[in-house]
Every structure is written in structure tokens, then in C-alpha cells.
């Protein structure tokens, strides 16, 4: 009888055995529930209800802050904008019975001031993991394979060997989990400008070159600002010249139009000539018709 009881307990323990899920700070995390789709499904964190689905209705969210950022995707719990306080144990229940318990670890890896570092500068690598068992150690694995038992690493100075893939390692429930961080280190020799390194070199047999250390606004040399100013004056002069020519052409057109109108008004008028004889002609005809005395 005891054997049967132990067998049932082992099976129940295996069925309730959960998994560990990682969530990145500020991103979306998904915790999967292995049960089949069920008319009644709910997710809890401790005694706190996160979300519940009953029948074919809409999911009912809990009043907690994490419940407002959560939703169901099938039987999985999806948490938006993961925060450090979201880490912990989550329980998936079907038909109001405990089915699975899972753990969410909230991981944050970063490098300050930026992931693109300059050779010879300083930088700090940070790996924070929330939800681990107290006393758990966090360590970094460098690109060359060496490991450091610290969650913070201070690079002083940054070297070319620091370029590559850094891995943050952390243990939980007998397993080791990791989160990666890629760092790019710029070579100081390739980023130095040739013009700046050779501007103070004196040519043999000649005068030393002029120094361009005096810079104006926006980092431009004084002669560049002079060229910009002269160019601007030339552009303004050309614009004024074009405007003056356009006005002169318009005035000439107006004058020609006035001259043409005046010439048309001075032309002689042509009157209509009638075929009727004039008064003198009528008088002459009357004299010819008079009888001699």
C-alpha cells in the first residue's frame, strides 16, 4: 500500500514540476503552461490572481499591477514590459486545480557608457538577475573563456581583447542559465585622424606648416568661414543683378508698348467719299443750261 502511495506522490510531483523561464527587463516574457486547452484556466503568483478564463468569455484580469500588463495566448501567460518585481513563482491552474508551477527570472545585462567602446577608455559591465535562490552567485565569462565571480566588472582600461561575446552565467534549481552581451571595441590607431597626427611635422628644408588649431564655430577653420562668407556675398550680388535686369526688361517693354500706341493714334483718318457732285459742279452745270439773252 505504501508503495502505491509513494508512486502516486512521485507522479503528482512530476506532473507539477515546473520550468524556469527568463525575461529581459523592459521586454516581453512568455511563461508556457503545458496543459491542454481547458474551459477554465487561470494564472496565479502565490495567492494573487493574474488572469482567469472561464468558458468562451473574455479573460478576467486581476487587480494587481502585473495583471494589467498580462494577457493569455492559448494557455501561455504573456507579460509586457517586464519589471524586476515580476520575478518569482507562477502557477497555472486548469479546472481550478493546480497543474504546473513555473519560475520567472528577470535578467538585465548592460555595459556603461555604451556597447561600442574606445580602446583605452573605461567601462562597467553589469548583470542583475532577480528571482534566484538567496546565496546564488552570478559570474561573467569573457570572450577569451576566462570567468570572473562577480556580477559587476570594471574595465580599466578597455583593451582589444575585450571585444566580443560576454556571457552572464547564473545557477538555479541545479541548472545553469545564461544571458549574452556583445561588446565592440574600436582600435585607437584606426580612429586617429592622419591629418591631426602629421600637422606639426616640419618639412625638411622648408618653413614649418601653418597650424590649424584655431577653429571657429562648428569646428571649421577661419579660412573656411571666409570662403563661406565670400560665397554668400557673391550669391547675394547675383540675385540683386538678376532682379535689376528683370525690372529693366519690364520697363523697356512698357516703353515700346507706349510708342506703338502713340504711332497708331497719329495715322491720318480716311473719310468716306461720296459719288454725288459737289456744289461747284452743280453751279457750273446750271450755267451751261442757261439760255442766252
Residue 292 belongs to a domain: no
Confidence band (pLDDT; 50, 70, 90) for 181?
Answer: very high
Domain assignment present for 11: no
Q: Are residues 97 and 122 in the same domain?
A: no
Highest averaged pLDDT of the listed ranges 88-97, 174-183, 188-197: 174-183
Q: How far is the C-alpha of 43 from the C-alpha of 61, rounded, in Å?
A: 10
| Region label for 286, one of left (φ > 0), alpha (ψ between -120 and 50) or beta (otherwise) | alpha
229 in a domain, yes or no? no
Question: Alpha-carbon dihedral of residues 213, 214, 216, 220, nearest 10 degrees?
Answer: -30
Residue 199 domain-assigned (yes or no): no
pLDDT at position 36 is 78
**pLDDT single digits (tens) 240-252:** 999 999 999 988 8
Task: Say yes or no to pLDDT of 160 above 60.
Answer: yes
User: Is residue 119 a part of any domain in this protein?
Assistant: yes
Domain shared by 88 and 25, yes or no:
yes
The verdict on 84 and 119 lying in the same domain is: no
Do 25 and 72 sit in the same domain of this protein? yes
| Domain stop point among 39, 73, 106 | 106
86 within a domain of the structure (yes/no): yes
What CATH number is attached to the domain comprising 113? 2.60.40.10
- pLDDT confidence of residue 261: 82
Same domain, 91 and 172: no
CA 135 to chain centroid: 40
H-only helix segments in 179-290: 188-191, 194-197, 222-265, 279-288
23 lies in the same domain as 91: yes
* Largest separation between any pair of C-alpha atoms in the chain: 187
Number of folded domains that form the chain: 2
Within a domain: 124: yes
Task: Judge contact between 92 and 19, C-beta under 8 A.
Answer: no
Q: Is the pLDDT of residue 215 over 90?
A: no
- Evaluate whether residue 50 is within a structural domain: yes
pLDDT tens, residue by residue, 137-149: 999 999 999 999 8
Q: How confident is the model at residue 202 (pLDDT cuts 50, 70, 90)?
A: very low
Question: Is 86's pLDDT higher than 90?
Answer: yes
- pLDDT averaged over every residue in the chain: 80
pLDDT at position 84 over 60:
yes
User: 26 and 101, same structural domain?
Assistant: yes
Higher pLDDT, 274 or 32: 32
What number is the average pLDDT over the span 24-45? Answer: 89
**% the chain with pLDDT above 70:** 74
Select from 169, 186, 203 the last residue of a domain: 186
Q: How confident is the model at residue 14 (pLDDT cuts 50, 70, 90)?
A: very low
Q: Which of 72, 106, 140 is the last residue of a domain?
A: 106
Domain around 63: 17-106
pTM exceeds cut of 0.75 = no
Amino acid at each position: 500500500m505504501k508503495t502505491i502511495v509513494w508512486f502516486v506522490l512521485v507522479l503528482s510531483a512530476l506532473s507539477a514540476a515546473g520550468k524556469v523561464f527568463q525575461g529581459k527587463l523592459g521586454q516581453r516574457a512568455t511563461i508556457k503552461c503545458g496543459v491542454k486547452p481547458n474551459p477554465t484556466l487561470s494564472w496565479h503568483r502565490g495567492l494573487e490572481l493574474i488572469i482567469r478564463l472561464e468558458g468562451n468569455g473574455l479573460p478576467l484580469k486581476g487587480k494587481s499591477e502585473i495583471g494589467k500588463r498580462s494577457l493569455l495566448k492559448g494557455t501561455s501567460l504573456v507579460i509586457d514590459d517586464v519589471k524586476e518585481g515580476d520575478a518569482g513563482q507562477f502557477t497555472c491552474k486548469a479546472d481550478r486545480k493546480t497543474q504546473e508551477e513555473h519560475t520567472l527570472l528577470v535578467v538585465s545585462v548592460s555595459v556603461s557608457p555604451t556597447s561600442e567602446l574606445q580602446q583605452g577608455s573605461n567601462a562597467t559591465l553589469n548583470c542583475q538577475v532577480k528571482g534566484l535562490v538567496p546565496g546564488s552567485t552570478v559570474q561573467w565569462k569573457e570572450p577569451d573563456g576566462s570567468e570572473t565571480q562577480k556580477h559587476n566588472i570594471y574595465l580599466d582600461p578597455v583593451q582589444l581583447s575585450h571585444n566580443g561575446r560576454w556571457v552572464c552565467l547564473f545557477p538555479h534549481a541545479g541548472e545553469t542559465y545564461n544571458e549574452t552581451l556583445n561588446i565592440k571595441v574600436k582600435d585607437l590607431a584606426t580612429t586617429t585622424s592622419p591629418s591631426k597626427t602629421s600637422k606639426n611635422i616640419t618639412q625638411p628644408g622648408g618653413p614649418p606648416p601653418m597650424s590649424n588649431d584655431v577653429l571657429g564655430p562648428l569646428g571649421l577653420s577661419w579660412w573656411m568661414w571666409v570662403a563661406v562668407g565670400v560665397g554668400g556675398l557673391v550669391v547675394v550680388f547675383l540675385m540683386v543683378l538678376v532682379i535689376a535686369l528683370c525690372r529693366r526688361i519690364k520697363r523697356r517693354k512698357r516703353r515700346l508698348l507706349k510708342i506703338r500706341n502713340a504711332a497708331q493714334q497719329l495715322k491720318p483718318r480716311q473719310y468716306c467719299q461720296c459719288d454725288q457732285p459737289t456744289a461747284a459742279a452743280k453751279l457750273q452745270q446750271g450755267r451751261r443750261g442757261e439760255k442766252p439773252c
